Copies of this chain bind each other. A is one copy, B any other.
Amino acid sequence: MLRQMERPEYAAKKQTGICTAGTIFDTLDTGQAANPEGRTMSSTVTPGELRKKIRAGAYAGNTSGAAPGFVQCNIVILPADHAHDFMQFCQRNPKPCPLIAVGEPGDATLPTLGDIDIRVDVPAYRVFREGELTGEVSDISALWRGDFVTFALGCSFSFEEALLEDGLEVRNLSQGRNVPMYRTNIDCHASGVFSGKMVVSMRPYRPADAIRAIQICSRFPSVHGAPIHLGDPLQIGIADLSQPDYGDAVRVEPGELPVFWACGVTPQLALQQARLPLAITHSPGCMLVTDLRNSQLSVL
């Protein structure tokens, strides 16, 4: 049902803006609760088999839990004349924007990530014109241009899997919610038209578990790496943990510290704020599933 072109109902949102909780970000890259379909096909399918289904139009859902153990990526596609600036934005802000692969201009393959056709291998895409979300589609072949450059960025699924494997709880998963995300007062380093505040995701831990989580995530710099802050939210400009800017609030128990990771929503916001004539991203939660193993991203 997502196999369609830009839908008029999205264009109508142009008036109200799109970067608000409950609209564009209500299923983010950790929005695994939104579509249980993604789970049912999880453990038996290989990344290649899953992409084949997606390519054939037989699967258009959330990829959380699909092909466990394999890296899933945030996708940004934009015209070549902004590619260098965007790449430099990623290079200057590696924690929110960890680059895993960059395509050649006009080339829809990403050979380091598997046998990929980026025009059809993501379950759902979002199309932005002048920074506004104008549609959600499951195939961008008709929109593809000879100057499009694809960026694949690391996603929190990988480090959440590493945390779970170590026996740590991931509160948003336990509660079956999207991870809570907050706009901070931390400025990203700008590059060309790309700039903005850093967005963080939050997972609460008791102090000893927070220390362990820092160790685990330090091994994965290409999926946001170690947290960037813990403790007092106000120090990074977050006034109220119960009011996330995106995603859902989660329970913070007495004795727990909120721990904050740089978040992949940061480059999406920077992209939208740049108001490019045309840009395409994955639809939150509907990631590119790659042949890379999470463990291959570990620096140790």
Least Cβ–Cβ distance between A102 and chain B, in angstroms: 27
Is A211 a contact partner of B228 (Cβ separation < 8 A)? yes
* A185-214, CB < 8 A from B: 206-208, 210-211, 214
29 pairs across A/B with beta carbons < 8 Å?
A: A206-B235, A207-B229, A207-B230, A207-B231, A207-B232, A207-B235, A208-B228, A208-B229, A210-B230, A211-B214, A211-B226, A211-B227, A211-B228, A211-B229, A211-B230, A214-B214, A214-B215, A214-B226, A215-B215, A215-B218, A215-B226, A218-B218, A230-B230, A230-B257, A231-B231, A231-B257, A232-B255, A235-B255, A300-B300
List the B residue with the shortest CB-CB distance to A186. B208
Q: How far does the alpha carbon of A183 sit from the alpha carbon of B218 in the complex, in Å?
A: 30
Q: How far does the alpha carbon of A227 sit from the alpha carbon of B214 in the complex, in Å?
A: 11
Q: Give the dominant DSSP class at A's interface.
A: mixed
Q: How far does the alpha carbon of A230 sit from the alpha carbon of B208 in the complex, in Å?
A: 8
Determine the chain B residues whose CB is within 8 A of the CB of A211 once the complex forms.
214, 226-230
Tell me the number of copies of this protein. 2
Q: How far does the alpha carbon of A228 sit from the alpha carbon of B207 in the complex, in Å?
A: 8
Interface centre among A211, A218, A228, A231, by most chain B C-beta atoms within 10 angstroms, is A211
**Binary CB contact string for chain A from 133 to 155 against chain B (1 if under 8 A, 0 otherwise):** 00000000000000000000000
**Binary CB contact string for chain A from 218 to 243 against chain B (1 if under 8 A, 0 otherwise):** 10000000111111100100000000
Determine the chain B residues whose CB is within 8 A of the CB of A257 once the complex forms.
230-231
**Binary CB contact string for chain A from 78 to 106 against chain B (1 if under 8 A, 0 otherwise):** 00000000000000000000000000000
Q: How far does the alpha carbon of A169 sit from the alpha carbon of B218 in the complex, in Å?
A: 21
* A172-187, CB < 8 A from B: none
Determine the chain B residues whose CB is within 8 A of the CB of A230 once the complex forms.
207, 210-211, 230, 257
* A101-116, CB < 8 A from B: none
Determine the chain B residues whose CB is within 8 A of the CB of A231 once the complex forms.
207, 231, 257
Q: How far does the alpha carbon of A236 sit from the alpha carbon of B233 in the complex, in Å?
A: 22
Determine the chain B residues whose CB is within 8 A of the CB of A226 once the complex forms.
211, 214-215
- Which 5 pairs, one residue from A and one from B, show the smallest C-beta to C-beta distance? A214-B214, A207-B229, A207-B231, A215-B218, A207-B230
